[in-house]
Amino acid sequence: MKTRREKIIKLLSEHEDMTLQELADLINVPVKTVVQDIDSVRKTIKYDNKRIEVRPAVCLNCNFVFSGRSRVSDPHKCPECHSEWIAPQKFRISPS
């Protein structure tokens, strides 16, 4: 039986891009747990010469791109237009 973090690594390696909510739904845990696990996964895969690529969140109202964020959790409000209509960031694992 695989650990929760091993499941996350497998899902992010096999699928094109996945949101935090999609990961949480597939492994049946809260999104908050996935957010905490992503940092550990990032450290673990570093030793296999892999990395987590992040496709940044985008405001669907003004098209502001949340690039350069270091936080794993999804943004809740656009700093430009203050809209809460935001496409979530997506993750995947790729070779370094």
pLDDT tens for the chain, 96 residues long, are 789 999 999 999 998 899 999 999 999 999 999 999 999 999 999 999 999 999 999 999 999 999 988 899 999 999 999 999 999 999 999 998
Task: Quote the pLDDT of residue 2.
Answer: 87
Dihedral through CA 29, CA 72, CA 89, CA 21, nearest 10? 10
CA distance 71 to 1: 30
Taking the whole predicted model, whether its pTM rises above 0.85 is answered as yes
The pLDDT assigned to 96 comes to: 81
Residue ranges and CATH numbers for the domains of the chain are 4-95 (1.10.10)
The encoded tokens of residue 42 equal: 């990032």
**Alpha helices for the chain (secondary structure H):** 4-14, 20-27, 31-46
